[in-house]
A and B are shown apart, each in its own frame.
Chain A
Amino acid sequence: MTAKITYADVEVGTELPAQTFPVTRATLVQYAGASGDFNPIHWNEKFAVEVGLPDVIAHGMFTMAEAIRVVTDWVGDPGAVVEYGVRFTKPVVVPNDDKGATIEVSAKIGAKLDDNTVRVDLTATSAGQKVLGMSRAVVRLA
């Protein structure tokens, strides 16, 4: 593990650089193929509406994959992530247009733990709604 951030550099409350991730229908088709999750709620509007959703929604695991990039881009080595967990609170609704949706992710240090690890608390929103809850990662710093 070769984190580029040192434990001494951070305090509780230190903010990580926030990022915004775009997601369109094309993104979801590509993610379905790469992940093997072909649930039609992620690409078939008719099906999504039939099961009571407002429109096609992003894979929860796609949102989870995007959110941790705020941590891995900051720390440099993705192998520094020791734990990562989220609750899926609201779906990311992806309209069938050129813009799609965006996922906004911010993060800050929630606690300094043992062995040079820190807990990072993440916030992910889309269209003003919190889409992940209890979103936390434990990361080993240099």
Chain B
Amino acid sequence: MALDQSFVGRSYPPTDPYEVGREKIREFAEAVGDLNPAYTDPEAAKALGHADVIAPPTFVFAITFKAAGQVVQDPQLGLDYSRVVHGDQKFAYTRPVRAGDRLTVTSTIESIKSLAGNDILDIRGEVHDESGEHVVTAVTKLVARAAEEG
């Protein structure tokens, strides 16, 4: 069944802060095999003008996707998560995520479309730091494939 269009524009309460740690950034950088010293060496990061080690560009997805769970699991919206695949992912950065950040995410349903029985949902996650400054916006497109006949 198609999702209710009246959910477009709905925002969910900001998440509790996620504190970004140096060692979590290191763990992520090692997992993707990325040896850029800006991710692990505070001095190298400072030489590039950053206050502390920064996170790889896609690191923040772990935080925004967890926040998007509020939308995905909203019983009123009724998305069948067992049929969902990740269609697109976009990030727009004001600055890189860095160690010491305390980040909150506000998720909003940006659009709902129905195409050939598939529900296509764009969820925008606005990420702000402790002082309320914008850090990054993540837009996640989820596609719930049409249920098979019979």
Report which A residues bind B (CB closer than 8 A).
Answer: 1-2, 21, 27, 30-31, 33-37, 60-62, 64-66, 68-69, 72-73, 76-79, 81-88, 134
Contact = CB atoms under 8 A, between A and B. Distances in A.
Interface size on B, as a range, is 20 to 34
Contacts of A60: 86, 89
B41 interface: no
A77 B38 contact: yes
Nearest to B98: A79
Contact of B88 (A2, A33, A35, A85): A85
A43 to B, nearest CB: 13
A82 B93 contact: yes
A69 B88 CA distance: 19
A33 B54 contact: no
Contacts of A66: 32-33
A82 B92 contact: yes
Interface of B: 27-28, 30-34, 36, 38-39, 47-50, 54, 56-58, 61-62, 65-66, 85-93, 95-96, 139
Nearest to A66: B32
B142 to A, nearest CB: 11
B87 A88 contact: yes
